[in-house]
């Protein structure tokens, strides 16, 4: 298993801006596993694999819809992890899901299931600093990086604590809101990136609201990289093929390489 | 900060992580953590300020119509074989207990400088109460309501609109209360700087379960006094205190007045939404509590004829009260509820909301156990909002019947 943080730091040191696209585990229903290798070969440096949850409060309509299609077609955490363990993308994979799925499975078992599936980290957006302790300790022990979200609503003292607890990278929340595309890059994306870069040497990756190669490049004037989710998933919900999603990831790559 | 003393008073303050025993906490997106902390500080400050307390009490009295009376059901007591007292929250302004919490939160939000309320609603009672408080205090208000509930509670949708509130239909998931909460939380994540989330029950992240209970303790405090007056010095406390449990706010309010007595406390859940009854802990909507979920942890959809109880979770303090055995939780079916709804109407001339009809339904079922006792039921709301739905069910309307699980 590749250590998420070391992998990203090495790439950053080489002057590369980091691209982390998102895949919903179970959408498009049968084809989604091929996105993992496809995105990797299109230039992804790591990837978020969403494990669908019934009540995703941090997600806007796009990810909600992909999740509910996946769930309606029988997606469950075990199936997602089984499919992931069969993939060989050559870049680290990070599980993105909500805490109850982890809690229900048990911290230890959830961590070891991620390890068994070959995953490197986990993002649990409804598990903030004060509640993360038990899980994060268990994850540390298993070698799973607990990525922490850092929000624009926090003061610097809090951001500092969040950065300290973060493993793998710090996920800067690009706007005050939920996932979904936005016509323009939020001003808060650049300001949270700046604040985090001043506070930590860990990779600072900005996500939520990053919608196209131009926005990705703009935020990477400051940040180390971006997470892009809704903009990818929406293309497929609109009828685009998985190949078109992969092409879009390649375009994001080109955007970042222009920085 | 308050720290739970395990030997301390039941229904005291939560510990400094917002827990009642092992339940509660603050499981929210990072974006909301500062807002929850700010709310906690503001509530603590206001609740220990006599000026705020006086303003709250005056508003409850002059605007909300408190104190609500206690009514002894002479006819029904004879029929069932035990003494029945009703705490008449149905007689409050807007027709349910929900107004207590909403006036408290709206006054607090105003004090915090927020200009807008966002709320979720199931039956529409909390939505109507929120819309009412917003109108009174000159605030904007947005209420999310599941599509299923918009249909079965059409009258309350129109009420909210009349009051100047924007009602938004939640189209995701089961399209009931749980999904309205999701949408309200999403809205709050995006507008947290100007908006107060006016949560309608003793659920959600700390400080909500505690704060909402505190705003409802007025029910228990009044009831304790009224019981003492009615029952006399030798036996001033009822044997059993009963309330329906959706999220659990009306139950928490009335239980709080009797937690330190030897009265038995019974919370009644709908059979299709019995989170405590199923005893499986989980995390959703900000707290760890009992939660209806599948083997993987996906939240299950509740089913209840009553929109206000159609919720797969329950407030964390109820999970704790069940855990330590201080309260017990029972469930009743939709059919039993409809019978109780008609029974109270016919025998006492009081049409209850479907939610507190759950409490009465359990009392009917448990009448042998209750024989000779004094039982206090929190009549949390009036039935006007449910009359059209019940009529359609009794007329055999297929769509209305489809909201029933026998
Ligand atoms: C009259 C009435 N009682 C009870 C409830 C359930 O809420 P809680 O369990 O928080 O008291 C509702 C909710 O809409 C209600 O309208």
Three-class SS string for chain B? CCCCCCCCCCCCCCCCCCEECCEEEEECCHHHHHHHHHHHHHHHHHHCCHHHHHHHHHHHHHCCCCCCCEEECHHHHHHHCCEEEEEEHHHCHHHECHHHHHHHHHHHHHHCCCCEEEEEECCCHHHHHHHHHHHHHCCEEEEEEEHHHHHHCHHHHHHHHHCCCEEEEECCCCCCHHHHHHHHHHHHHHHCCCEEECCCCCCCCCCHHHHHHHHHHHHHHHHHHHHHHHHCCCCCCCCEEEEECCCCHHHHHHHCCCCCCCCEEEEEEEHHHCHHHHCCEEEECEEEEEECECCCCCECCCCCCCHHHCCCECCHHHHHHHHCCCEEEEEECHHHHHHHHHHHHHHHCCCECHHHHHHHHHHHHCHHHHCCCEEEEEECEECHHHHHHHHHHHCCCHHHHCCCCC
Mean pLDDT, chain B, rounded, equals 95
Q: By 3-state DSSP, what share of chain A in percent is helix, strand and coil, each rounded to 5?
A: 50, 15, 35
Domains B19-60+98-197 and B66-96+217-401 share a fold: yes
pLDDT digits (tens, 9 = 90+) for B121-176: 998 999 999 999 999 999 999 999 999 899 888 889 999 999 999 999 999 888 88
Q: If we measure between CA atoms, which residue out of A220, A221, A242, A222 comes closest to residue A233? A: A242
Closest ligand 1 atom number to CA of residue B201? 10
Percent of chain B with pLDDT over 90: 91
Residue B63 pLDDT > 60: yes
Q: Which of A5, A59, A138, A224 is catalytic?
A: A59
Quick one: pLDDT at residue B6?
A: 45
Beta bridge partners of B93: none
Q: Return the CATH number at A53.
A: 3.20.20.70
Query: Smallest CA–CA separation between B220 and chain A, in Å?
Result: 32
pLDDT digits (tens, 9 = 90+) for B286-336: 999 999 999 999 999 999 999 889 899 999 999 999 999 999 999 999 999
In this prediction, residue A1 has a pLDDT band, given cuts at 50, 70 and 90, of low
- DSSP secondary-structure letter at A78? H
Domain parsing of chain B, residue ranges: 19-60+98-197, 66-96+217-401
Contacts of B283 in chain A (CB under 8 A): 99-100, 103, 126
Q: Does B283 touch chain A (CB under 8 A)?
A: yes
Check: CB of residue B211 under 8 Å from CB of residue B100.
no
How far apart are the two ends of chain B, measured CA to CA in Å?
47
Question: What class is the B19-60+98-197 domain?
Answer: alpha beta
In this prediction, residue B399 has a pLDDT band, given cuts at 50, 70 and 90, of confident
C-alpha angle A118/A123/A124, rounded to 5°?
A: 125
Task: State the total domains in chain A.
Answer: 1
Provide CB contacts within 8 A for A147, sequence distance 6+: A4, A94, A121, A122, A123, A166, A167, A168, A169, A170, A171
In this prediction, residue B404 has a pLDDT band, given cuts at 50, 70 and 90, of confident
Check: CB of residue B321 under 8 Å from CB of residue B10.
yes
SS3 A224: coil
Q: From the CB of residue A165, how many other CB atoms can be counted at a distance below 10 Å? A: 13
ipTM above 0.90, yes or no: yes
Summarize the confidence of residues A231-237 as an average pLDDT.
Answer: 98
Q: Does B16 touch chain A (CB under 8 A)?
A: no
How many angstroms separate the CA atoms of B148 and B175, rounded?
6
Provide CB contacts within 8 A for B70, sequence distance 6+: B85, B86, B87, B88, B222, B223, B226, B227, B230
Q: From the CB of residue A19, how many other CB atoms can be counted at a distance below 10 Å? A: 28
Check: CB of residue A145 under 8 Å from CB of residue A167.
yes
The answer to whether residue A160 sits within a structural domain is no
The answer to whether residue A179 sits within a structural domain is no
Residue B1 pLDDT > 50: no
User: Where in the sequence is the domain holding A79, given as residue range(s)?
Assistant: 17-147+211-257
Check: CB of residue B214 under 8 Å from CB of residue B101.
no
Q: What is the pTM of this model?
A: 0.97
Strands B281-284 and B286-290: antiparallel
SS3 A14: coil
Q: Does domain B66-96+217-401 have CATH number 3.40.50.1100?
A: yes
Quick one: pLDDT at residue B403?
A: 77
Summarize the confidence of residues B56-71 as an average pLDDT.
Answer: 98
Summarize the confidence of residues A61-75 as an average pLDDT.
Answer: 97
Summarize the confidence of residues B33-38 as an average pLDDT.
Answer: 97
Q: From the CB of residue B162, how many other CB atoms can be counted at a distance below 10 Å? A: 11
Quick one: pLDDT at residue B317?
A: 98
Contacts of B185 in chain A (CB under 8 A): 57
The answer to whether residue A252 sits within a structural domain is yes
Q: Which residues does ligand 1 sit against, CB inside 6 Å?
A: B 96, 122-123, 125-126, 201, 244-250, 308-309, 353, 355-356, 380-381
Q: Does B205 touch chain A (CB under 8 A)?
A: no
């Amino acid at each position: 298993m590749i250590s998420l943080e070391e992998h990203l730091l090495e790439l950053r040191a080489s002057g590369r801006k980091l691209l982390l696209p998102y895949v919903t585990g179970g959408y498009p229903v049968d084809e989604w596993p091929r996105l993992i290798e496809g995105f990797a070969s299109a230039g992804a440096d790591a990837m978020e694999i969403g494990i669908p949850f019934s009540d995703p409060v941090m997600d806007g309509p796009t990810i909600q819809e992909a999740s509910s299609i996946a769930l309606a077609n029988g997606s469950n955490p075990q199936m997602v992890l089984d499919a992931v363990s069969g993939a060989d993308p050559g870049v680290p994979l990070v599980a993105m899901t909500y805490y109850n799925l982890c809690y229900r499975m048990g911290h230890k078992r959830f961590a070891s299931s991620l390890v068994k599936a070959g995953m490197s980290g986990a993002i649990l957006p409804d598990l903030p600093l004060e509640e993360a302790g038990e899980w994060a300790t268990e994850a540390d022990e298993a070698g799973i990086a607990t990525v922490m979200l850092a929000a624009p609503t926090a003061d610097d003292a809090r951001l500092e604590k969040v950065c300290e607890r973060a493993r793998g990278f710090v996920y800067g929340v690009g706007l005050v809101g939920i996932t979904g595309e936005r016509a323009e890059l939020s001003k808060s994306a650049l300001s949270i990136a700046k604040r985090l870069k001043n506070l930590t040497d860990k990779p600072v990756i900005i996500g939520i609201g990053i919608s196209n190669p131009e926005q990705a490049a703009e935020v990477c004037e400051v940040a180390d990289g971006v997470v892009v989710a809704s903009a990818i998933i929406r293309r497929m919900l609109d009828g685009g093929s998985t190949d078109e999603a992969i092409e879009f990831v390649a375009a994001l790559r080109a955007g970042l390489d222009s920085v | 900060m308050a720290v739970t003393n395990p030997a301390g008073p039941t229904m005291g303050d939560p510990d400094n992580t917002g827990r009642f025993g092992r339940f509660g906490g603050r499981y929210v997106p990072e974006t909301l953590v500062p807002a929850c902390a700010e709310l906690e500080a503001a509530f603590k400050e206001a609740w220990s300020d006599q000026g705020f307390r006086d303003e709250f009490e005056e508003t409850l009295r002059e605007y909300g119509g408190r104190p609500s009376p206690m009514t002894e059901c002479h006819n029904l007591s004879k029929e069932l074989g035990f003494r029945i007292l009703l705490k008449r929250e149905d007689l409050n302004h807007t027709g349910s207990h929900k107004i207590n919490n909403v006036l408290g939160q709206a006054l607090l939000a105003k004090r915090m400088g927020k200009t807008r309320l966002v709320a979720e609603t199931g039956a529409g009672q909390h939505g109507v109460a929120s819309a009412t408080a917003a109108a009174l205090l000159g605030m904007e208000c947005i209420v999310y309501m599941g599509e299923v509930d918009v249909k079965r509670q059409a009258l309350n949708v129109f009420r909210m609109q009349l009051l100047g509130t924007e009602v938004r239909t939640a189209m995701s998931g089961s399209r009931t209360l749980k999904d309205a909460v999701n949408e309200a939380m999403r809205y709050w994540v995006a507008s947290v700087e100007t908006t107060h989330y006016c949560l309608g029950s003793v659920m959600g992240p700390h400080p909500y379960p505690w704060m909402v209970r505190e705003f409802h303790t007025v029910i228990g405090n009044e009831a304790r006094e009224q019981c003492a007056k009615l029952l006399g010095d030798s036996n001033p406390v009822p044997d059993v205190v009963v309330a329906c449990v959706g999220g659990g706010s009306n139950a928490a309010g009335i239980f709080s007045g009797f937690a330190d007595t030897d009265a038995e406390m019974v919370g009644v859940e709908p059979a299709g939404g019995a989170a405590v009854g199923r005893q499986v802990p989980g995390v959703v909507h900000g707290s760890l509590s009992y939660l209806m979920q599948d083997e993987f942890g996906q939240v299950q959809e509740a089913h209840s004829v009553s929109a206000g109880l159609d919720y797969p979770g329950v407030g964390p303090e109820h999970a704790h009260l069940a855990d330590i055995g201080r309260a017990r939780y029972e469930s009743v079916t939709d059919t039993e509820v409809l019978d109780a709804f008609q029974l109270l109407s016919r025998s006492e001339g009081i049409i209850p909301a479907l939610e507190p009809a759950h409490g009465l339904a359990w009392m009917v079922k448990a009448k042998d156990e209750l024989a000779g006792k004094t039982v206090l039921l929190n009549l949390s709301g009036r039935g006007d909002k449910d009359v059209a739905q019940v009529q359609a069910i009794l007329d055999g309307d297929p769509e209305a019947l489809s909201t029933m699980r026998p």
